[in-house]
Structure 1
């Protein structure tokens, strides 16, 4: 039997059970817990314990056995699932998940042998209640307490923990990380040092000029901390250097791990343990900035450590709303919180095999189009019918194959109730999270890339969007804040909304901050949407103070770039004092789409079919350059965009010109083309780096003739057409055009004037 394969199955099954356990704990209500939910909690831990026993994982078996005892008493009615027990069980869930992560990373489980959680579990199972910290027993006079053994290394003994995360460009800048260590050896003794290489890529991704290593050292020196810090003076610009007296406190440990992802954090903790540092000490509540992978500790509970996020299940139930919420506790809401998940049978397929299959389907689509073209040119009816039948089968195969990649977006949404709960506790806010549309399906490759952008937006909504309880009461609002997370399909796209009922975006404050940072001159006026887009600029923040959650001005620029890489857009609606809505629009798939072929000049272009509303003939009065590039479409003013002029293509003589009416969201425009060539299955081929700046083109495809056709970027074209028409009817004003991302709009205006 392949032990590695069996272990991988154990990891997948355990992560699924832990995910179910977390959802149930966030879903239950203290006074309305069903026996089915309690039995599911018990079964999850019991199954993990039994599977761990098959592999001889005694430490996991011992811990899960104690959790199982508590859950057994819970379902027997001896314990009540109150807020404190829920928090304890969530921390037990995290502890098991961390042990599994360490096991998967081939780390020793010895450091998990005697966790402090066992003491809290014992207090519950033996007394049926949480331990009372004030109820300490009076000291007994007859038996004096034994003196505690002195620590081998006390703070101030000249022993230091060095956590050195040099920047990736250090080697390019002519600096050698080992030179810093050699210098430290001249003013002290490097007792132990180890490298953390979790960021080291393999194969072609490795760049010999890039630094990937992080160093952790136990260092002894009588020098002052400032003296040691001065050693790294020239490396401070793009590096992260932490120098803490040994032993580092939990808060210092958390600060050293603030910018690390889950894998790196686990590896660093393992190194600290080998150096002799107690990395399992209770940690203070710590969150990372919005530009890093999310890791945080429960604000009022000990021993929260960084762990990799497990793969979510293919199906998930939404958390229910508790009847009562203590201040600082986030509650989850869902559409089908009491519905039982339907039993399904799944066959797990490696993602690479599915990607290869879709690539082959794409080539089959192209080959089918070529065969169909040859058949039509031959004018043999039997051959045309045969190729058409093959084309229909290819269409069905294409749809079925793409549906294999479609998974419910609830896979992402399922992690946010826990995030909202922990972050709101850390901030001391009372926030309720509402989730809807979790069953909406999206391409798996896009779901995986949406996690971080949505995490940034949700965390910012909780931190900056929702006011404090005092501020909400002063404004006449209920003390409880609300955050909504919703997904739905619209016109061949998927829309994801993150909304809150907080204070909204202050346009005046955003403009003032933009002027302060030199993003635009003081006399420039911007439309509302352009003002809101300023928050996506790198380093932009209006926060009064930096918190452990956000406020450094990083993260939102990453959100914009991530969405654009997925060929999507993000819009903002906000009203001061009422709240803000972030609306993300994405295509359903990045592989194969239905297209509509049009001809402009001597070139052929593809318009995504889901964006096409109708096609009409261009009136003769508007056939050539007219005063107004707009059309009266059944009483609606439709802005026109002449693609030959826009793309600078030579004009050709045509009997008639046509208008393809397209839309994106609520906006419409008409694309003026020379000929309509009909529908076409389009295999999207990415453009090279040379063409990435072209906003009107989103990709390319190969036609049945072997020619390359460019795919039009409909959102960008509609934005250009509507903006141009709006400027035509706008009275002259001091408003100057500015595009987000330009650093000197004044210089841009001067050049355009010349």
Structure 2
């Protein structure tokens, strides 16, 4: 691993730890400071600080050190995790994240004034927490497992491969200096080669040094955690250094042990006799001090992990577990999927040629190739699938901040976080879901007083739910608030000229008006919403992902925004149909069955419903709808499709079978054609358009709703009506 890869791994880990920190803070606030959560919280910032020190990121190290001090007092009970402290720690989290993001983007970080304000608040907490402030250490004690200002001796026997692993020995010293004072350093070069035997990628440097600071043995060992695998790291309090070397828990060879002994003597290590002479009145205490310092060292350096009797086997098992995962750049995976898409097209061309030549052996070979391509396609696409919880986990913090700002009491329930979706879609869902959640809290959930008056629980609920249905993924954002006001939406739409006063709209059409640009029924503008900006962006973002969004709302009960999305944007299984002389693709996931259109309905163009085993099935004649000439004397068929709980029969001229479809987006000049979701290239080189089943079903639903409404109005007037074309 080179340095660029190492620092990228640091950034990835740091952002993951910050997400854990935010989650823990929100959980700890609701679970009243669980000790395990507080310890985990401390470890997140401690690990970021340690890793940043390895790369000499002094600004991050300095700031996180102050946060770490506050968290240490929090877990020791000197501080209480109340609302104010949680808010401060969340702001510190945001500041560290901004510092890291600035390094990633190579841009300016957060301003110094905001950092100074946060540090001042942290310092005030530390000063008033009780006990001795960090700047005034308590008298030193001779134990290695309690924090006290004391002298330490270190031997850093870095292995020959630390440079190849992207680690710089100097960075360890830089980080160590943030914990205290490095007073003396002796560089050692025992294996240095000359001439052509010198390997510039090999490490020859080892260090012996003396350090003074308020810390513990465990904290010092954490500094060198990344280098421990291939190195010999010895750390001991000055008073117990001789006893530590005598025990030799790290298993040093005789030559290396003698070398460490000699250099530690130079740095001030006392022999056992000198230690006794220095404390003639307390010889037993001096001996105990050495034992106490040696025992933690044995536990830290030599002892195997719990449940393992062999440290080498434990390390091997740990590395084997890490080897099950590998980081791959998203661009490389996208390029692979594009190539597989082209392979799908080439395979389809091979199938076509095999059928045209009629050679059985060639057809069998072609079928085998197609099966392998499908397996490769399925396996590769699965690499892009990630749990939607990756984005859901952003929103507990959003809900907390917005509710505090609005003075409401709202909880967020998350269901289905393990549901998988294409990574490329996950990245584009953040903003739409953010708008929906913020609007649910602002417009949907009532104030505590109003909810109490209506007999509801004082605490409102916003719910995020994700699940699979019919080859698609559904994401629901719901609330138990006041619901949408149908009459208010209509009045606002008429006032803005979106509809006429006598327009007959279905409930779904009325609710859909809130997605119009600039539409808002808010009585006043707030920092959260009210300017009519956002809901139109939500719909546009969902449509760009080939998805749909629908609304169900009941007054005083709540509202549900239901987003339906395809599982992937790259390759789908399609069903080829013929309409006139053109070929179209219907996503196979939406197809239920295919039947022949009854002869009695072929010429009756006004007949737009079919009795399908006792069920009234709406029909859509695609030739007429798409305005293409129908095939003459063709035996028409009905492809029954479904989205959600709605079924529609699509009348086509011919059925051509299943086909693996590589989705090619249409140009911007065709973006207004809602019923076409993309295009693909067939095996014979022709272009086939992909039909958007959701739009087709919605068109039929609106057509029938309008027809029913018109028939009902005629009946109320005593006028007979006939079905219209």
Is the TM-score greater than 0.5? yes
Aligned to 1:93: 93
Cα offset, 1:523, TM superposition:
2.5
Cα offset, 1:446, TM superposition:
1.2
Cα offset, 1:109, TM superposition:
7.6
Query: Of 640, 644, 648, which aligns to 2:619?
Result: 640
2:629 counterpart of 1:676? no
1:625-676 C-alpha deviation (Å, 9 max, x unpaired): 2542111111110011111222222232446321110011111110111221
Count the aligned residue pairs. Answer: 525
Aligned to 1:46: 46
Cα offset, 1:31, TM superposition:
5.0
Alignment CA distance shift 1:110-1:565 (3 Å)? closer
Q: Is the 8 A contact 2:465 2:475 kept in 1?
A: yes
Aligned to 1:350: 329
In structure 1, the residue corresponding to 2:638 is in which secondary structure?
Answer: strand
Provide the C-alpha distance between the structure 2 equivalents of 1:580 and 1:648, rounded to a whole number of angstroms. Answer: 38
Aligned to 1:378: 357
Cα offset, 1:723, TM superposition:
3.0
Provide the C-alpha distance between the structure 2 equivalents of 1:649 and 1:515, rounded to a whole number of angstroms. Answer: 37
Answer 1 or 2: higher relative contact order, Cα 8 Å, separation at least 6. Answer: 1
Provide the C-alpha distance between the structure 1 equivalents of 2:110 and 2:518, rounded to a whole number of angstroms. Answer: 41
Aligned to 2:384: 405
Cα offset, 1:113, TM superposition:
9.5
In structure 1, the residue corresponding to 2:482 is in which secondary structure?
Answer: coil
Provide the C-alpha distance between the structure 1 equivalents of 2:95 and 2:677, rounded to a whole number of angstroms. Answer: 45
Aligned to 1:748: none
Provide the C-alpha distance between the structure 2 equivalents of 1:410 and 1:674, rounded to a whole number of angstroms. Answer: 44
1:139-218 to 2 correspondence within 5 Å?
none
Provide the C-alpha distance between the structure 2 equivalents of 1:633 and 1:41, rounded to a whole number of angstroms. Answer: 60
Query: Of 465, 471, 478, which aligns to 1:499?
Result: 478
Alignment CA distance shift 1:605-1:730 (3 Å)? same
Aligned to 1:102: 102
Q: Is the 8 A contact 1:453 1:558 kept in 2?
A: yes
2:419 counterpart of 1:443? no
Structure 2 gap ranges (5+): 132-320, 715-723
Cα offset, 1:391, TM superposition:
0.6
1:447-503 C-alpha deviation (Å, 9 max, x unpaired): 111111111111011111111112212222221111011111110111111111111
Alignment CA distance shift 1:102-1:701 (3 Å)? closer
Cα offset, 1:52, TM superposition:
1.8
- Higher Cα Rg: structure 1 or 2? 2
1:53-452 to 2 correspondence within 5 Å?
53-104=53-104, 105-107=106-108, 111=112, 115-128=116-129, 345-452=324-431
Aligned to 1:651: 630
1:540-555 to 2 correspondence within 5 Å?
540-555=519-534
Provide the C-alpha distance between the structure 1 equivalents of 2:122 and 2:466, rounded to a whole number of angstroms. Answer: 39
Provide the C-alpha distance between the structure 2 equivalents of 1:654 and 1:551, rounded to a whole number of angstroms. Answer: 58
Provide the C-alpha distance between the structure 2 equivalents of 1:483 and 1:599, rounded to a whole number of angstroms. Answer: 46
Alignment CA distance shift 1:725-1:542 (3 Å)? closer
Provide the C-alpha distance between the structure 2 equivalents of 1:597 and 1:622, rounded to a whole number of angstroms. Answer: 23
1:549-575 C-alpha deviation (Å, 9 max, x unpaired): 100011111111111111111101111
Q: Is the 8 A contact 2:506 2:705 kept in 1?
A: no
1:362-409 C-alpha deviation (Å, 9 max, x unpaired): 000000011111112222222111111111110010011111111111
In structure 2, the residue corresponding to 1:102 is in which secondary structure?
Answer: helix
Q: Is the 8 A contact 2:29 2:83 kept in 1?
A: no
Aligned to 1:144: none
Alignment CA distance shift 1:91-1:510 (3 Å)? same
Provide the C-alpha distance between the structure 2 equivalents of 1:520 and 1:632, rounded to a whole number of angstroms. Answer: 36
Provide the C-alpha distance between the structure 2 equivalents of 1:424 and 1:610, rounded to a whole number of angstroms. Answer: 40
Q: Is the 8 A contact 1:434 1:484 kept in 2?
A: yes
CA RMSD of aligned residues (A): 2.4
2:690 counterpart of 1:711? yes
Cα offset, 1:727, TM superposition:
3.9
Provide the C-alpha distance between the structure 2 equivalents of 1:459 and 1:581, rounded to a whole number of angstroms. Answer: 14
Provide the C-alpha distance between the structure 2 equivalents of 1:693 and 1:570, rounded to a whole number of angstroms. Answer: 17
Q: Is the 8 A contact 2:99 2:109 kept in 1?
A: no
In structure 2, the residue corresponding to 1:550 is in which secondary structure?
Answer: coil
Provide the C-alpha distance between the structure 2 equivalents of 1:620 and 1:118, rounded to a whole number of angstroms. Answer: 81
Aligned to 2:487: 508
Q: Is the 8 A contact 1:59 1:113 kept in 2?
A: no
Aligned to 1:187: none
1:239-266 C-alpha deviation (Å, 9 max, x unpaired): xxxxxxxxxxxxxxxxxxxxxxxxxxxx
Alignment CA distance shift 1:518-1:700 (3 Å)? same
Aligned to 1:478: 457
Q: Is the 8 A contact 1:456 1:556 kept in 2?
A: yes
| 4+ aligned runs moved over 6 Å, structure 1 | none
Provide the C-alpha distance between the structure 1 equivalents of 2:89 and 2:389, rounded to a whole number of angstroms. Answer: 23
Structure 1 gap ranges (5+): 131-341, 736-752
In structure 2, the residue corresponding to 1:28 is in which secondary structure?
Answer: helix
Aligned to 1:695: 674
Provide the C-alpha distance between the structure 2 equivalents of 1:507 and 1:76, rounded to a whole number of angstroms. Answer: 55
Provide the C-alpha distance between the structure 1 equivalents of 2:538 and 2:30, rounded to a whole number of angstroms. Answer: 37
Cα offset, 1:82, TM superposition:
3.1
TM-score by length of 2: 0.69
The structure with the largest helix share of the pair is 2
